[in-house]
Structures are given as C-alpha cells and as structure tokens.
C-alpha cells in the first residue's frame, strides 16, 4: 500500500504540507497511499486551454466519474483552494506525459514542460471514501489483502462534451447487503470522491461479463452472501482524454496523487 517504510525521516509525512515539501524536493517519489492520512488526495489532468472548456463540460455532465475539486487559472501552476503553497509542476511524485494519446515519458517534475496555455484539473479519488467506509464499519477486502481495487469497463455511457466521451469505468468492492446499504449512506456524504455507487448486484446489468477478470487492478474474491458494489472510477476521464488524443496531456502516475490540505471528512466544504 504505502512506501512509508522507505521515506526519509526528515519530513513529517502525516502533514500534507510537509509531505508536499518532500515530494517537491525529490525526497519522496513514490505512491501516496498512506501519506497524510485524513487529507483529500486528487488525480491530475493537465490540458491545453483550447480543450479546457470541453473537459470542464465533460466533468460537469459526469460528476460521479469526474468529480472536479480544483481547476487552475490558465498558465498558473497554483491551486490555492487545495493548498496555499501548491505548485502543480513539482508537487506530485511522478507524472505521465501523453502526446497524441500515447504515453511518451514519465518524469518527477514538469517545470520544463509547463506552458502558458496549460490548465490543471484535480479530480477527487476513491481514497477519501475508502477511509470513511473502513472507519464506519465497512471493511474493504482489497485493502485488507493489499491488492489494487478491481476495475471494469461497462456498458454505461458517459455524457459526451466536445472531443471527450466513452464508456464509464467502475471499481468494485464486494460486501454483504447490509454493508452495501451502509456504504451508500456513507458515500452519499462524499460527492466529490465519486459519491454513491452506480450499481450493485448483477454485473451483467452493466455489461460486465466476467467479474473474475477485471480490466484493470487485481481480481477480488467475492464470498458467499456478498454482492459486488460498483462505484464510478477515475479511469473514466483518463480514457476519455486518451481517446480525444490531445497533442499533450500530463497526468499523475497511477498511485502518485496530489495531497491537498482539505480534510477528507470536509467533502461538504468543497460543495
């Protein structure tokens, strides 16, 4: 889950500002899971301004897979609403640079790539609601077994906007019916980290033919008396961007998120 055992001792990784300093200086280049627990982490997508309005429309129309929690000014790498000192060019451990929809390079700093027409988008991720579920009595098997959550393509279509479109990708967490009900209650409080599930029960109803063969992540065992519960997943906008084949797009490397100063429990503040 976490690279915490490998971290330099000179930073306090429970503090989001100190964690970002460690990332900014290059002392911390790894996975952000387990870092600054209790603070919202976000996915990154940087696009040129000529695609930014369409991408914002795509997020507005598809808030469950694309919960927008921050947008930079054009050409400005700051995101003061998420943390006063944030410089999005340096504050993510590792970046993927896509050119014309293809992964071109992975870097730890994008100051040399930054342009006056770049807009940075931060999208909420499931990390916040998973912490809430666990602390409210809904254990999550993929966390207990140190697996990557199971993710699937579905037959659910997103609402298109300009060049952005495509099917919804979902993550799946198995649980009892009683815990599924509790999970809906808990995640209703987190609209900015995918919110309530999009489906539960029969995978075929959303076009998933083999629940044991996820399209991304690891397979998760479903025990007797459990049902699969499906949430909209942040891979959805990543696919939509890739299909749009922008001349350039920069994202976080999976698992290497932006750590914000916004407490996870304060989702409503973003609302």
Residue 73's CB is within 10 A of a number of other CB atoms, namely 11
Determine, following the binding rule CB under 8 A, whether residue 74 of this chain makes contact with a copy of itself: yes
Determine, following the binding rule CB under 8 A, whether residue 30 of this chain makes contact with a copy of itself: no
CA–CA separation, 94 and 90 (whole Å) = 9
Q: How many CA within 13 A on the CB side of residue 120?
A: 29
> Tokens at residue 149, please?
């959550």
Determine, following the binding rule CB under 8 A, whether residue 68 of this chain makes contact with a copy of itself: yes
Q: Which of residues 77-96 bind a copy of itself (CB under 8 A)?
A: 81
CA distances from 231 to 150, 153, 211 (A): 11, 12, 14
Determine, following the binding rule CB under 8 A, whether residue 27 of this chain makes contact with a copy of itself: no
Q: How far is the CB of 227 from a copy of itself (least distance, A)?
A: 21
Single residue of 1, 12, 25, 49 touching a copy of itself by CB under 8 A: 49
Single residue of 41, 196, 236, 238 touching a copy of itself by CB under 8 A: 196
Name the phi and psi angles at 69, rounded to 5: -115, -5
Q: Which of 66, 58, 47 is nearest to 165 (CA)?
A: 58
Would strands 150-157 and 167-176 be described as parallel, antiparallel, or unpaired? antiparallel
Single residue of 46, 92, 119, 172 touching a copy of itself by CB under 8 A: 119
Residue 262's CB is within 10 A of a number of other CB atoms, namely 23
Name the segment binding a copy of itself (CB under 8 A); options: 1-9, 54-62, 175-183, 216-224.
54-62
DSSP-derived 3-state class of residue 261: strand
> Tokens at residue 20, please?
């970002």
Looking at the Cβ atoms of 67 and 166, the one nearer to a copy of itself is 67
Single residue of 17, 29, 57, 99 touching a copy of itself by CB under 8 A: 57
Single residue of 46, 149, 161, 240 touching a copy of itself by CB under 8 A: 161
CA–CA separation, 253 and 242 (whole Å) = 14
How many chain residues are in contact with a copy of itself, going by CB under 8 A? Answer: 26
Looking at the Cβ atoms of 159 and 176, the one nearer to a copy of itself is 159
Single residue of 71, 78, 147, 181 touching a copy of itself by CB under 8 A: 71
Single residue of 1, 8, 25, 73 touching a copy of itself by CB under 8 A: 73
């Amino acid at each position: 889950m976490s690279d915490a055992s490998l971290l330099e001792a000179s930073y306090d990784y429970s503090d989001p500002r100190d964690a970002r300093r460690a990332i900014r200086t290059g002392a911390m280049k790894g996975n952000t899971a387990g870092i600054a627990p209790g603070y919202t982490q976000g996915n990154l997508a940087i696009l040129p301004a000529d695609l930014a309005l369409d991408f914002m429309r795509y997020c507005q129309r598809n808030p469950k897979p694309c919960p927008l929690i921050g947008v930079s000014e054009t050409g400005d790498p700051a995101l003061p609403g998420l943390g006063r000192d944030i410089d999005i060019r340096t504050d993510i451990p590792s970046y993927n640079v896509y050119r014309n929809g293809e992964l071109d390079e992975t870097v730890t700093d994008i100051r040399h790539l930054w342009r006056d027409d770049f807009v940075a988008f931060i999208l909420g991720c499931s990390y916040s609601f998973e912490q809430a579920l666990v602390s409210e009595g809904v254990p999550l098997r993929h966390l207990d077994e140190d697996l990557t959550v199971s993710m699937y393509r579905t037959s659910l279509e997103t609402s298109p906007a300009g060049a952005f479109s495509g099917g919804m990708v979902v993550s799946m967490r198995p649980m009892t019916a009683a815990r599924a009900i509790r999970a809906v209650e808990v995640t209703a409080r987190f609209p900015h980290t995918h919110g309530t599930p999009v489906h539960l029960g029969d995978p075929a109803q959303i076009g998933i033919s083999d629940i044991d063969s996820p399209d991304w992540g690891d397979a998760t065992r479903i025990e007797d008396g459990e049902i699969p519960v499906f949430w909209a997943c942040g891979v959805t906008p990543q696919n939509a961007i890739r299909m749009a084949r922008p001349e350039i797009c920069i994202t976080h490397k999976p698992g290497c998120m932006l750590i914000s100063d916004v407490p996870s429990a304060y989702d409503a503040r973003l609302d």
